[in-house]
Chains A and B, each alone.
Chain A
Amino acid sequence: MGFLAKSRDWLKLRAKQAQVKKSPDPIVLSELVQCLLRLKDLDAAYEHVSWGMKRFPDSDVVQETHRIVVREKARLGVQQATKEIQESPSPMGFMRLAKSALQLRDGETAGKALRECVRRFPDCGPAHSLLAEIHERRFLRDLAVSDGMAVISFAQKACRLDPTDVDTQLRLARFLGMIGAVSMARKLATAILARDSRRSDARELVDSLPDNPPAQKPDEIGEMLARIEEDGRLPGDGSEEYRIQREVGKLCRGIREVKEKLRARRSIVLNPECEAFDDLGPLGVDAFVDLSANLSQSAQLLCRRTELGPLRGVTLEGAGGSLVVRRGFRCVVGCLLPRDGTILGSQESLRVLVEAAAGGRNREVPA
């Protein structure tokens, strides 16, 4: 920034500060914070915007400004923590880097930092706990066995390293309850309550679990997770049906455009029960529906068993045409392309469609 621009901002800053003091207003506050950001006074910007969030909690402008400041702070945090780690690596530095990266929704950097942290400092409980949290988010997205196992393993280690970390214990109990390991979840939550009866969150969890669940062994966890992965849903998740319906609806609305773009002969959306839909409504079973369902299910199994991770898409190129299949959050999209149709870019088009249907969630981010 040039000297003149800087001087202009200084003058503007004084004026805006006086204006905010005299008659606080979300727009003026936002301008003041932007001025401070341009002058690189991040702390003052954060202080003002935090005050603004309390003063104008419903203002979209203040919320957006707050988001920008938090992102700037996180970006600076990543830079500072990276430098700190390079100069003198410490668990605190790695944790700071991971937390800042998570604020920027950069799960990959956060995961890398935490894995390096637990490699160098195997006794760092908070790093294990945060790794469990990252894997839990990924599990809720992909329902992959490997993530589920990682959640349990990292959380258990965090609890062993720091027995006073009740939050991680409670999160582990909630996770166990969610995947159907009810007796283990209940046991863990009851133990937390026995140590501190004031924990209302632990009490709530115990109350929400069935009273006398059948006893479960730790080695049954793998089977439970595998069942969830195969079914593509969590046990007893009442909102799952609604989520699936919403995703099918969104995919069906977008599929006509993709069909035209790819000049596909047909295009369908399959729900986890392999019921087919297109933009006009439900469809019956035929060879195309059957092949799409079969291919996506067998391919999912193949990719899991060959340790390639969750399936994203399949392209089958045959003599008489091609079939392109893409897995969404819960559903599958399939396009039947003619013999002279081009398959180049078809996976990309379907990826954009399924990501839009999943609410802009970036499914490709590895943590």
Chain B
Amino acid sequence: MRDILKKLDGAPGVLGALVMTNDGVLVAAVPEADSHDRIAAFSSMLLNSIEKDSETLGFLPIKRITFWAQKGRLIIVPMGDFALVVIADRDSDLGFALMEVAGLARSLLKRSKIEV
């Protein structure tokens, strides 16, 4: 998780990032800010509210949700029991940073799986 946040910290256009559990508990964040708890709580609420319909439409697992707002973007990347939330400016190209994050997330998921 820390590797992922480290990759994002300081990436062009990234204003902040956090990792949270699916029920909205903040695990880690860069940079430290009070608002991250609130973001985690609302992101979790959103993920829960769309879960059922996403399943019906065959969207699961969700790869990424991007929100475009007047002052910036918010990107949620679900990673198993956790979710990564990236807060970014309106215009920067985050393609490369997010690709690296996706790779890290995949390897993290593989490692955390318990083989029976």
Interface residues of A (CB under 8 A from B): 142, 287-288, 290-291, 294-295, 298-299, 301-303, 305-323, 336, 347, 364, 366
Contact = CB atoms under 8 A, between A and B. Distances in A.
Given A298-B49, A323-B59, A303 B65 contact: no
Dominant secondary structure at the A interface? mixed
B35 interface: yes
B49 A307 contact: no
B62 A306 contact: no
B62 A318 contact: yes
A307 B35 contact: yes
Given A302-B74, A317-B65, A347-B68, A294 B53 contact: yes
8 contacts: A287-B53, A298-B46, A298-B50, A303-B74, A305-B39, A315-B65, A318-B61, A321-B59
A313 B61 contact: no
Contacts of B13: none
Given A302-B46, A306-B74, A314 B57 contact: no
Contacts of B67: 299, 302-303, 308, 311, 313-314
A316 B65 contact: yes
Contacts of B53: 287-288, 290-291, 294
B61 A302 contact: no
Contacts, number: 113
Interface string B13-53: 00000000000000000000001001100110110011001
A11 to B, nearest CB: 50
Nearest to B64: A317
A314 B74 CA distance: 10
B68 A309 contact: no
B3 to A, nearest CB: 23
Nearest to A290: B53
B50 A294 contact: yes
B66 interface: yes
B59 A319 contact: yes
Interface in B67-83: 67-74
A326 to B, nearest CB: 9
A287 B70 contact: no
Nearest to A306: B39
Nearest to A291: B53
A366 B42 contact: no
Given A294-B50, A307-B35, A323-B59, A315 B70 contact: no
Contact of A314 (B43, B54, B63, B68): B68
Contacts of A142: 70
B56 interface: yes
A102 B63 CA distance: 43
B65 A314 contact: yes
B1 interface: no
Given A291-B50, A318-B59, 20 more contacts: A142-B70, A287-B56, A295-B46, A305-B38, A306-B39, A306-B87, A308-B73, A308-B87, A309-B71, A311-B68, A312-B69, A312-B70, A315-B64, A316-B62, A316-B64, A317-B62, A317-B63, A322-B59, A347-B68, A366-B70
Contacts of A336: 57
Contacts of B42: 301-302, 305-306
Contacts of A364: 70
Nearest to B62: A318
A266 to B, nearest CB: 10
Nearest to B77: A317
Contacts of A322: 59
